[in-house]
A and B are shown apart, each in its own frame.
Chain A
Amino acid sequence: MVQRTYEQAEKRLEEIVNELQKGGKTLDESVKLFEEGALLSDFCLQALKNAEQKITRLGETNADEAQV
């Protein structure tokens, strides 16, 4: 899956659910949408469950982990 933010993923998932609920899709389209939606919901769940807070100091590059 392309690199995307949590926000984008959630937004797209919502679109997909709305699209599917609206109906009028071919079976092929529905299957594709469902697969994309399933990946997105997995991505969101994983992101929320596995995220670890990252802290840097202003002026440092992101690679340097700040000691707080």
Chain B
Amino acid sequence: MNLPSITVSQLNTYVKKLFDTDLMFASVIISGEISNYSPHYKTGHLYFTLKDASSSLKAVMFAGQARRLRFQPENGMHVFAMGRVSVFERDGVYQLYVNELIPDGEGALTAAFRQLKQRLEEKGLFDPAHKKALPAYPKKIGIITSPGSAALQDMLNILGRRYPLAEIVLAGVTVQGQTAPLEMIGALRAFNERTDVDVLILGRGGGSAEDLWCFNDEGLAWAVYESHIPVISAVGHETDFTICDFVSDVRAPTPSAAAELAVPDAADLLRRIKTLSDGLNTAYMQKINAVRSQLRMLFAQRDFSDPGRFFVPDKLKIESLRLQLAAQTEKTMQQKRLQLEKNVTALEKLNPLRVLLRGYAMVETDAGVVQSVDALHIGETVWISLHDGSLTAQIREIKRRENDGPTHL
């Protein structure tokens, strides 16, 4: 048979030419779901099928473009695939040559983030058991951030105000862009070669998701995981979450918050020292007082060992005896006083002057009071006392009473 014919290759070449000259095929955006995803581990090309409910389309993304992807395509993922439609001559199939893939529903970054997070989580990088405690009183704090940034200044201000005892060791790095992860990894490793730094703060101030993207680097995540120094991540604002936040030992919502987490507050410490100091004084004074009262007791005991101690136990008895003595003395004194008064009264009655008052006279000589006429001679001088004076007289006559009976006055 010699029918006019063309070869398979000729047909495929012709078809390919038709496709390639059609501007419609030069740049298309296809929406579909990825299936049969099979990256070629040697070349890095990605092969997959895009499908919708009723139809499917072969697609390939060469390594050059695939490397720029920030997320990992996966089966079942809805994507927009941009590229050109052409024919693969060898197999006689047409397919989509993809330049760029955009996840549908979530952003490329979001997808990448989700995937990396899941992968690292499966490998145990976020395991709470692996997380290290922060030192209560750090001596040296390593800060890995952009030098001259507001975030750094904020951290230095807070650290200086709260706990100036801690020395700061600063590692200036770029915190966005392609080189950032490697610089940060280098700083982490350099700090880990030292033995004097006991906590690290890794972070930067706020920015767009793109700006913060370098903190989602897998290599950086491993470097944080492998750090034997505790790492506080402090990336962006409170609402920003990065892989770094999950793998770090402590996540701070902001750089300022990281500085507060890293150190105690000197004001609290001052209060604490004052409390301890008060406690010290009180406990000491208690001891001194205890010793003092012990001494007093000892002194008291020494009195007991004295011979005189036998009187001491019955102090009450002594006291009562003393009171009795006083009462007795008082009583005796009283009796004496009464006796004295009686005597004085009696004495008073015997006072010769009282007799003279009644008109009697007392006659005396040198020999004393004259009681009998027999004691006198004629011409003798006598003294006569009356109640208001005395007289001197000479005896002229003596008459003796004959009946010597009782004297009647």
Q: A53-B160, A54-B168 are in contact. Are A59 and B190 (CB under 8 A)?
A: yes
Nearest chain B CB to A22's CB is how many angstroms away? 9
A residues less than 8 Å from B290 (CB atoms): 23
A residues less than 8 Å from B172 (CB atoms): 57-58
Q: Are B147 and A68 in contact (CB under 8 A)?
A: yes
Q: A30-B287, A45-B273, A68-B152 are in contact. Are A17 and B279 (CB under 8 A)?
A: yes
Q: Which of B42-50, B136-144, B339-347, B372-380 contacts A (4 or more CB under 8 A)?
A: B136-144
Q: Are A13 and B280 in contact (CB under 8 A)?
A: yes
Report the nearest B residue to A55, measured CB to CB: B168
Check if B191 is an interface residue, CB within 8 A of chain A: yes
Contact of B169 among A44, A47, A48, A56 (CB under 8 A): A56
Report the nearest A residue to B287, measured CB to CB: A30
Q: Are B284 and A20 in contact (CB under 8 A)?
A: yes
By size class, the interface of chain A is 35 or more
Number of A-B contacts (CB under 8 A): 108
Nearest chain A CB to B359's CB is how many angstroms away? 95
Q: Are A34 and B280 in contact (CB under 8 A)?
A: yes
Q: A53-B164, A57-B169, A57-B170 are in contact. Are A5 and B283 (CB under 8 A)?
A: no
A20 vs B282: C-alpha distance when bound (angstroms) = 9
Q: Which of B2-10, B264-272, B330-338 contacts A (4 or more CB under 8 A)?
A: B264-272
Q: A34-B284, A48-B269, A56-B169 are in contact. Are A27 and B291 (CB under 8 A)?
A: yes
Chain B, 128-184, CB within 8 A of any chain A CB:
136-137, 139, 142, 147-148, 152-153, 156, 159-160, 164-172
Q: A5-B137, A44-B269, A45-B273 are in contact. Are A30 and B280 (CB under 8 A)?
A: no
A49 vs B313: C-alpha distance when bound (angstroms) = 60
Chain A, 1-59, CB within 8 A of any chain B CB:
5-7, 10, 13-14, 16-17, 20-21, 23, 25, 27, 30, 33-34, 37-38, 41, 44-45, 47-49, 51-59
A61 vs B136: C-alpha distance when bound (angstroms) = 25
A56 vs B191: C-alpha distance when bound (angstroms) = 13
A30 vs B280: C-alpha distance when bound (angstroms) = 10
Report the nearest A residue to B159, measured CB to CB: A53
B residues less than 8 Å from A30 (CB atoms): 284, 287-288
A residues less than 8 Å from B272 (CB atoms): 10
Q: Are A23 and B287 in contact (CB under 8 A)?
A: yes
A residues less than 8 Å from B270 (CB atoms): 45, 48-49
Report the nearest B residue to A9, measured CB to CB: B273
B residues less than 8 Å from A21 (CB atoms): 279, 283
B residues less than 8 Å from A41 (CB atoms): 273, 276-277, 280
Interface centre among B171, B191, B284, B286 (most CB of A within 10 A): B284
Q: Are B160 and A58 in contact (CB under 8 A)?
A: no
A14 vs B283: C-alpha distance when bound (angstroms) = 12
Check if B187 is an interface residue, CB within 8 A of chain A: yes
**Other A-B pairs, 6, CB within 8 Å; known A44-B269, A57-B172:** A17-B283, A37-B284, A41-B273, A51-B165, A53-B159, A55-B168
Can you report 10 A-B residue pairs in the complex whose CB atoms are below 8 A from each other? A6-B269, A23-B290, A30-B284, A34-B284, A41-B280, A52-B164, A55-B156, A56-B169, A57-B170, A66-B170
